[in-house]
Structure 1
Amino acid sequence: MTTIALVTGANKGIGLATVRQLVERGLTVLLGSRDLEGGERAAREVGARPVQLDITDDRSVRNAAEFIGSEFGRLDVLVNNAGLLVRKPALEVSAEDMRAEFETNVFGLVRVVHAMLPLLRLSAAARIVNVSSDSSLFSKTTDPGSMFAQSHDSFVYSATKAAVNMLTVKYANAFLADPALRHIKVNAVTPGYVATDLNNFAGVRTTDVGARVSVHWATVGSDAPTGGFFEEDGPMPW
């Protein structure tokens, strides 16, 4: 039986590379994107199925879940890849300035998980991958010599990704406590410093390399851990 996967924010960058690699592994992949036309072009390029999905919009997420349910009857893999970075000096950021990034990176993730959970429940071995960032780590942001300690303009982004890490742990604990949901494994991953439009293509890794960690945790077996935070080479020091 074919594994059904959904990747959010997948019409470009790491998301598109993730879709491509999952398709190459034989999965049926739904490529989620806010812009349906752009998503359709990207999906044709990699052999995926396009789905209009704006994770900040309740109706869009609900419609996507209904489509997946009617078309496939379940969801086996969810990769929460969609993310937003708005650069602004930390000391200039207001509470209002924070809303857009939290709406996408935190509330959007929860919105999608909540809507897809009934479909993940129906999978025999569901997997959720939450894409986080090195910039969420205390071990790096408290190192004065680290680029993350000096990146004052990613003030909000780093906070949202720290929230993603904690949500991952809380979801994992809740799933393990529910006999009907223990088959769902959820982990956070970091693709590393990848050249994407989020960093004006300053990153040193390619999107194909950055996508590998998401693909790995989207396809792990039943003996894999849950509730962790990983890079391609293994666990990250929180």
Structure 2
Amino acid sequence: MMTSQIALVTGGNKGIGFAICQGLVAAGFEVILAARSLDKAKQAVEQLSSSNVYPIEMNVANDSSIHSAAEDIRDQFSHLNVLINNAGIYPDQGVNILTVDRDLLNLTMNTNAFGPIQIIQEFLPLLEKAPAARIINVSSGNGALDGISANVPSYSLSKLALNGATILLAKALHSKGIAVYAMCPGWVRTDMGGNAAPRSPEQGADTAIWLATEASPKLSGKFFRDRKEISY
């Protein structure tokens, strides 16, 4: 009998990711908190003050790091109910679509779009062992066709690609009973969003927690903000 609900959250050591971890712990999940360094993950776990949170090191832009994390998690956990691809970068300061270089585009696409695809591939065996598993990709309004911005070129293109990957993954995983969603947290007060942002990390995390716990699997492949479907 499978009783424990287990979730993996990338970039879980701060901001929206940390708030997602808090919400999932409150909802009764065991949470695997992934960060780029094990020290950062451990520090965040200490802040959460729960025996149901486990630190793991994972650099989502590095395939060998993803693979190592997956091996470690397979050794410790029998299944995975929820995977939340939250980790991401926003490195477009001082550039636009006319000046951005290939290196920056590669870096952002590898982290924000190709990383989540690789993570899903690595963790699929554990997701398949859970009934009605869920994958949530934390995207952005900058990834919607009516929200892409020439002033944040690599970020917009990477989130546009992540949205496209969400649609493809939802189709590919439908027969396995695994739902895949994309969500926009809004403009949130984090290192990425800055202090002027109107929303708290908890407000940004709310839709991800809802998708992880309550949303219908029939909504797989859709894009959400504030628990409501929005257009890609």
For 1:74-153, list aligned pairs within 5 A.
74-87=79-92, 88-90=94-96, 91-141=98-148, 149=149, 152-153=150-151
Once residues 9 and 140 of structure 1 are traced to their aligned partners in structure 2, the CA distance between those partners, rounded to angstroms, is 24
- 8 Å contact from structure 1 (residues 189, 213) kept in 2: yes
Q: Distance in 2 between matches of 1:36 and 1:220?
A: 31
Distance in structure 2 (CA, Å) of the matches to 1:161 and 1:208: 21
Q: How does 1:1-238 map to 2 (within 5 A)?
A: 1-46=3-48, 47=50, 48-87=53-92, 88-90=94-96, 91-141=98-148, 149=149, 152-176=150-174, 178=175, 181=176, 183-220=177-214, 223-238=217-232
Shift of 1:218: 1.1
Per-residue CA deviations over 1:20-69 (Å, capped at 9, x if unaligned) read 00000100000000111111010121122111111112222112111221
TM-score (norm 1): 0.90
> Counterparts of 1:166 and 1:126 in 2: how far apart (Å)?
20
Moved over 3 A (4+): 221-224
Deviation at 1:94, TM superposition (A): 1.6
**Residue 200 (structure 1) shift:** 2.8
Q: Distance in 1 between matches of 2:152 and 2:32?
A: 30
For the residue of structure 1 that corresponds to 2:188, the secondary structure is coil
Assess if the C-alpha contact under 8 Å between 1:3 and 1:76 holds in 2. yes
Aligned to 2:219, the other structure's residue is in SS state coil
How well do the aligned residues superpose, as a CA RMSD in angstroms?
A: 1.4
Q: Distance in 1 between matches of 2:182 and 2:121?
A: 17
TM-score normalized by the length of structure 2: 0.92
| Unmatched segments (≥5 aa) in structure 2 | none
Distance in structure 2 (CA, Å) of the matches to 1:154 and 1:139: 14
Long gaps (5+) in structure 1: 142-148
Q: In the TM superposition, what is the alpha-carbon distance from 1:77 to its structure 2 partner?
A: 0.5
Alpha-carbon distance in structure 1 between the residues aligned to 2:78 and 2:227:
34
**Percent of aligned pairs sharing the same letter:** 35
Counterpart secondary structure, 2:180: strand
